[in-house]
Structure 1
Amino acid sequence: MAEMRAVDIHGGKGNISALHITTVPKPRPSPAQALVKVKCFGLNRMDLLQREGLYPVPEGASKILGVEFSGTIEELGEHAEAGGDFKKGDEVFGLAYGGAYAEFIAVSTRMLVKKPEGMGWEEAAGIPETWITATQALYHISHFTPGKSILFHAAASSVSIAGIQLARADSASAIYATARSDEKCSFAVNTLGATAAFNSTTTDWVQEIVKATNGRGVDIVIDFVGADFFAKNLEVVAKDGVIVNLGFLGGTELPQGTNLSAFIRKRVTFVGSALRSRDVEYQGKLRDELVEHALPRFKDGRFKVLIDRVLSWEDVQEAHRLLEENKTRGKVICCVY
């Protein structure tokens, strides 16, 4: 059986020190898949949770960490080849259900995108999960349209970085953000173009946003914090507004006495969503939207993949440490050298 190197976890789950590179069986593509030789892979917070045994892997998916990558097509399944869209040697990036922390990955061709000429491997590896998640949250979950206002929490996270750029390009009336440092707030305004950003640890960001919107609030809130911001999000959301929850950095249990009256008083919609648990058909439609809506703007430079750090995959422990410290502004990328 052919073998390859991949990142593994001692004991199946554990802390950062459990990560190591070992030899595992090389995957074989199914008829509808391509085998891609991985150049780089992007890190996401779900990787930290999966490493600790707190994120269930979709049924049938590789247990190897990682869902986004860039690389070259090594082999095509018979049905994938018959489609004619891809050929051996094509430079691609894509989204998978798992398996990206490795030298090779087998993935549905439905989730592959041809890498534009001139785009770096590192940049390409930072697009799929991040930008598809932002696309899903804005257009499919919150139903963002030009003229709406929006608040992104965790402004320096990769999904918010993508979302702020998408909202700006599609004429949001105002884009607000929160972050846990003044540096990240400045980054959101001066680099990303947010209307205003507020330090959530040193300012009353609820009152600042209420003041900035003349008491109206924002039409859409994109939240990764969860319990800690739940009640505050209800204060800043406008009537008929939408709150989209994508994570639980601030916990999952609401304090006793949390007031839910805004749900009726403001006619609020609260939606929780995830991408990895969706089927290929759903993800494929988002992939098409990414290609049609965002890829041309990557090509002409209007959209940027902001990368905080590029490391060798031999330094995967350090890469996970960077994410856990919450000090990054943009993607952490590992390259398979």
Structure 2
Amino acid sequence: MNLSRRGLLLGSASVSLLGTLRYAGAQTPEFNYKYANNLPVSHPMNIRAQEAADKIREETGGRMAIQIFPSNQLGADTDMLSQLRSGGVEFFTLSPLILSTLVPNASISGIGFAFPNDAAVWSAMDGELGRYVRGQIEKSNLVVMDKIWDNGFRQITSSTKPISTPEDLKGFKIRVPVSPLWTSMFSAFGAAPASINFAEVYSALQTKIVDGQENPLAIISTAKLYEVQQYCSITNHMWDGFWFLANRRAWERLPEDIREIVARNINEAGVKEREDVAKLNATLKEELAAKGMKINEPDTAPFRQALKDAGFYAEWKGKYGDEAWAILEKAVGTQLT
């Protein structure tokens, strides 16, 4: 695995290198910005981001260049968020649930078992709920693009047992991202959540610091977590995405015409990435099973009921406030309370 992980890092380094070599001999960019993320180079997000960067450079006549740094090359999520705020990087994609460490109500789109399917997600995130969250993000002095990118519905993996009922989570040592909502939800199930940045997930599973983790199928596959996890339970317990964020000072340095080109291409790439993730997820259950994972699909109704009984939804309704919760209920109904 050390070799394959080293290969992955070398491959990811080539994203920014190729972007540089492709334009060797062209004019020096007037604006040379860095875009950081936490996903492997093979994930649809990095593929579509590179396409967008190429189009931006072409449409600006070489004035604007964006170098991509995938796979946590520039640090863990919390480190990169600090770099974005300080201007060390100009662009960064981040889960709204992790962004909630800075923008508390950003995580409302990830409330447990809220969305029944992708169609409900996009109706909400391209509609009133998305506008509300973007408004909250703007208040924190960051710029956010209009279209949220897809990470997908999250599933639970384990090295010890399938997760078939809420009782299976009691005492279960599970890695969660650094976000209060994740910790709160798995604590409500009686699990033992541990907040670990994504860069350390593989080694934490390999060394049994935790018994399991939860992520969308596309990440389970591209990060090769099937090498250190035996079971995958299709719980769809949370939907997660990536807001494409920009440092405000860096954004305002760009002339208006370049801003329009950048925003348009990034938003178009985000919509294409959503389609890519949907297609990938349609085949991944079979592919992961072929790689040795045991797949099970539990009934999720008892999980939602367990959260209700534990007071999880009532607690978070109080934290988000009546306005935000009402906007969520417009999108998903009142089944959470």
Normalised to the residue count of structure 1, the TM-score between the two structures is: 0.30
More contact order relative to length (CA 8 Å, sep ≥ 6): 2
In proportion to residue count, which structure has more helix? 2
In proportion to residue count, which structure has more strand? 1
Normalised to the residue count of structure 2, the TM-score between the two structures is: 0.30
